[in-house]
Structure 1
Amino acid sequence: MRNEETSVVEKVLEHDLLSRETVLALSERYEEPEWLRERRQEAWRLYLDTPFPNSNVDEKWRRDDISGLVRKLGTLKQAQAPVHTILEELPAPIQGILRESDKRGGLLVRRDAGVTYAELDEEYAHRGVIFTDLATAIREHSDLVEEYLFKAVAIDEGKFPAMHAALMNGGAFLYVPKGVIVERSFQIVHWLDNTGIAVFPHTLLVLGESAAATVIEEYVSPDLDGIALVNGTSEMVTGDNAVLTYLGVQNWGKNVWHFATQRSRLGANSVLNFSNGQLGARFNRFETEAWLEGSGSTVYLQGIFFTGGSQHISNHTLQYHRNTQTTSDLLYKGSLTGRSRAVYEGLIKVGRGAQRTDAYQANRNLMLSKKAHADSIPQLEIEANDVRCTHGSTTAQLDEEEMFYLMSRGIPREQGVRLIVDGFFVPVLDRIPLREVRNRLKDAVAAKMNR
């Protein structure tokens, strides 16, 4: 006799991905409280009432054509939740990632639409730290999750956030109480190995006053024969004087379409050190925002992307200064090969009354192919008069004079290109605090260049 959870999973899979029945079935599957059921259904109504972005009419999407995905949405199904496993039974690529890691404070491995492995160091659990999958957190800490879920990223912010909120199928939750400093990192791994599916992961990170933590979040898959959709959201909330280090690595295989909304809200004198590496996927659009809400808060944002073939990687950043004496420093660098395309659109926004703001934004692109294309659109929007804001961008082809110099010293052209690319990324990589993540990004770039 099948258990109730299995029958509910099958019920979810019976329906089209984009249907009210699927939304209701997900609430049943996760045994959700009434407040979340209502929020899902509200998100579903918003999804129905909101048109898909159109690159012909929507300025923010003018350079991101998603018509190829929209045509195929009807063929996608909700991903199934996997069974739990032991660490040694995880897929080989994940084993490789974990072997490279320093000792962790916690580990969460998601496979398709569910958690297949989870652990938390007992020392941190005794100190009140919560690190678990989101569905478990909602069941066991409903009031705490309700206080923060969908508060940094609201459900009414567009087609994809509404779709995500309606169809969310799990994720990760970290809560570090006031005054707790976690020395070892928490690691979240999202593994995808099925085609024709859609996953909607949600990461919620909450640090109390004067707390500190480091989170590594990775997205990994083999090359897929058919398309898969990942529509994720990450919410990060730091209390006064808290310090959060976040390191994200996106290394999907071919044919994955990834949409991500990432937003942090910083308390007074808190610090966020945020790093993003984007290397894989057929189509990748990240909306990354830091809201400096507390006086004296600081954010460092760094990103690295490397594209090849017909890849499309799009980054939209917002440094939103909402209080006095806040600081933001952003550096995104990308290198492009093949017929790939990259879009960077960044905005420094200084609200009224946010005096003594200090903000910097830079995007640099290195073109390794004349058929690749990069757009860079830095912007300022300032409503205060005592500020220092600087922004800029450069896009340049590979320097052939530099190549000639290297080749004249006996260095083959391919090796010379690798040396130039390595040097180009050094200023970003040097800002990433964990060696293992720096090395992973270096290795991933080298692997793509060797294809």
Structure 2
Amino acid sequence: YSEESPVLSHLVVDTEKNTSATITEETSSGDFNTSFTEIYVDENASVEYGAVEKNGEFSYSRRKAITKKYGSINWLNGIFTGGLNRTKIETILKGDNSETEMTGVWYPTGEQHHDISLNVKHIGDGTKCDMDSRSVVDQKARSLYEGLQKVEQTAFNTSSFQDQETLMLSDNSESDASPKLMIENPDVEASHAAAAGTVEKEKQHYLESRGLSQDKAERLVVKGFFEPVMKQIKVTRVKEKIREEVQRKLDEKQ
């Protein structure tokens, strides 16, 4: 997309049975971006979807998938720009034994505001979900996260896990996280957690005692903080783009 024009997009992906697909999406727009992605995962089909957003001042993205039995959808979202960025990702696990992974990385700086929502609805039996996201917040930026795992009465033998962690690099930064569980069937294994903290003084002191400057020590801490999530990313192109954007953010701070 052109970096000077607004982006208004609607992408629909409809898979067939026993197929696999890898989708990568990178948006770069002017002041305004809005996009909607729909993915329909047929029986025993699998989809890897990765998006890296480098949009302008205002950005709204919504992504939704519906799975049939034994279908799988893995989402990856990297967000690094935009004055106000709102992203909602939703998976409806309709078919039995279908599953989803939702992996997120975002890094607001300056006065950016990143508002992220990850939702999953378990309808079929034996469905599985794993949400794992990490954010670094610096300067006067704000990170807002809401995660919802909903297990319907029809969903037996369900597994659903959610974890969100935030690293705050500035006293002026803000982070709000709200992980939620709505369970209507007792036959479930589920957990949810969220944590926010600053750079551990002991860790930074250890790195500096090994001859690293404060800036280089912080860079290592940030990269190490993202690494557990980076290891989960299966789409090489998206992983490389995210590493580039993290490096760019660190370089901008100098």
Q: TM-score, normalised by structure 1?
A: 0.55
- Looking at structure 2, the residues matched to 369 and 279 of structure 1 have their Cα atoms a distance apart, in angstroms, of 17
Query: Which residue does the alignment assign to 1:296?
Result: 97
Are 1:240 and 2:43 matched, yes or no? yes
Query: Which residue does the alignment assign to 1:381?
Result: 182
Query: Which residue does the alignment assign to 1:22?
Result: none
Q: How does 1:244-393 map onto structure 2 within 5 Å?
A: 244-252=47-55, 255-393=56-194
- Looking at structure 2, the residues matched to 320 and 436 of structure 1 have their Cα atoms a distance apart, in angstroms, of 29
Query: Whose strand proportion is higher, 1 or 2?
Result: 2
Q: Which one has a bigger Cα radius of gyration? A: 1
- Looking at structure 2, the residues matched to 416 and 354 of structure 1 have their Cα atoms a distance apart, in angstroms, of 47
Q: Secondary structure of 2:164's match?
A: strand
Are 1:201 and 2:9 matched, yes or no? yes
Fraction of identical pairs, as percent: 27
The answer to whether the Cα contact below 8 Å between 2:28 and 2:54 also exists between their aligned partners in 1 is: yes
- Looking at structure 1, the residues matched to 134 and 41 of structure 2 have their Cα atoms a distance apart, in angstroms, of 27
Are 1:215 and 2:26 matched, yes or no? no
Query: Which residue does the alignment assign to 1:192?
Result: 3
Q: Secondary structure of 2:107's match?
A: strand
Letter in 2 for 1:207: T
- Looking at structure 2, the residues matched to 266 and 208 of structure 1 have their Cα atoms a distance apart, in angstroms, of 11
Q: CA deviation at 1:239?
A: 0.2
CA shift digits 1:109-145 (9 cap, x unpaired): xx3xxxxxxxxxxxxxxxxxxxxxxxxxxxxxxxxxx
- Looking at structure 1, the residues matched to 238 and 22 of structure 2 have their Cα atoms a distance apart, in angstroms, of 12
Query: Which residue does the alignment assign to 1:403?
Result: 204
Q: Which has the higher contact order (CA 8 A, sep 6+)?
A: 2
Return the match for 1:231 from 21, 25, 34.
34
Q: How does 1:163-202 map onto structure 2 within 5 Å?
A: 191-194=2-5, 198-202=6-10
- Looking at structure 2, the residues matched to 366 and 215 of structure 1 have their Cα atoms a distance apart, in angstroms, of 29
- Looking at structure 2, the residues matched to 234 and 206 of structure 1 have their Cα atoms a distance apart, in angstroms, of 11
Q: RMSD of aligned C-alpha atoms? A: 1.1
- Looking at structure 2, the residues matched to 230 and 251 of structure 1 have their Cα atoms a distance apart, in angstroms, of 10
The answer to whether the Cα contact below 8 Å between 2:137 and 2:173 also exists between their aligned partners in 1 is: yes
The answer to whether the Cα contact below 8 Å between 2:48 and 2:235 also exists between their aligned partners in 1 is: no
Q: CA deviation at 1:441?
A: 0.7
Q: Secondary structure of 2:246's match?
A: helix
- Looking at structure 1, the residues matched to 69 and 135 of structure 2 have their Cα atoms a distance apart, in angstroms, of 32
- Looking at structure 1, the residues matched to 105 and 152 of structure 2 have their Cα atoms a distance apart, in angstroms, of 28
Q: CA deviation at 1:317?
A: 1.1
Q: CA deviation at 1:447?
A: 0.8
Give the ranges of 4+ consecutive aligned residues of structure 1 lying more than 4 Å apart after TM superposition: none
Q: CA deviation at 1:251?
A: 1.7
Unaligned runs of at least 5 residues, structure 1: 1-110, 112-190
